[in-house]
Amino acid sequence: MLNKYSKAGYIKYPHKILNEIAHMKKIAVIPARYASTRFPGKLMQLLGDKTIIRTTYENTLATALFDDVLVATDSEIIYNEIMQHNGHAVMSKRAHESGSDRIAKQ
């Protein structure tokens, strides 16, 4: 069975796949639920002078490992916290069972 890479000639020319990978954008997506069952609102608690989610976002950005960092959340409170501090956030459905599901929908 041929896959994307064999159809496009990547098997014959492996430098093509390396070039494609080298030019892909690296994006970090941080899943962030507000209504945790064990500690609701945990991400909005202060850690020093910033919220936990803002600290997480800024520290991820500061690594310089990613072309972009965004928070995927089901909460307007978390969304507003990130956006008010010039970050990137997207709203997701509340129905996701896990953070992985929340990220996959973005």
**C-beta atoms surrounding 97 within 10 Å:** 7
Distance of CA 62 to the CA centre of its chain: 14
Question: Does residue 49 form part of some domain?
Answer: yes
**Residue 47 belongs to domain spanning:** 25-104
Question: Does residue 30 form part of some domain?
Answer: yes
CB 55 within 8 A of CB 95: no
Question: Does residue 97 form part of some domain?
Answer: yes
- Higher pLDDT residue, 77 or 8? 77
Domain count, the chain: 1
Q: Is the pTM of this model over 0.85?
A: no
Given this model, what pLDDT does residue 41 score?
94
Three-state DSSP class for 104? helix
Could you tell me which of 81, 86, 26 has the C-alpha nearest to residue 53? 81
Question: Does residue 10 form part of some domain?
Answer: no
Residue 97 has pLDDT above 80, yes or no: no
The stretch 81-90 carries a mean pLDDT of 96
Residue 104 has pLDDT above 50, yes or no: yes
Separation of alpha carbons 75 and 87, rounded Å: 15
The stretch 26-49 carries a mean pLDDT of 92
Residue 50 has pLDDT above 80, yes or no: yes
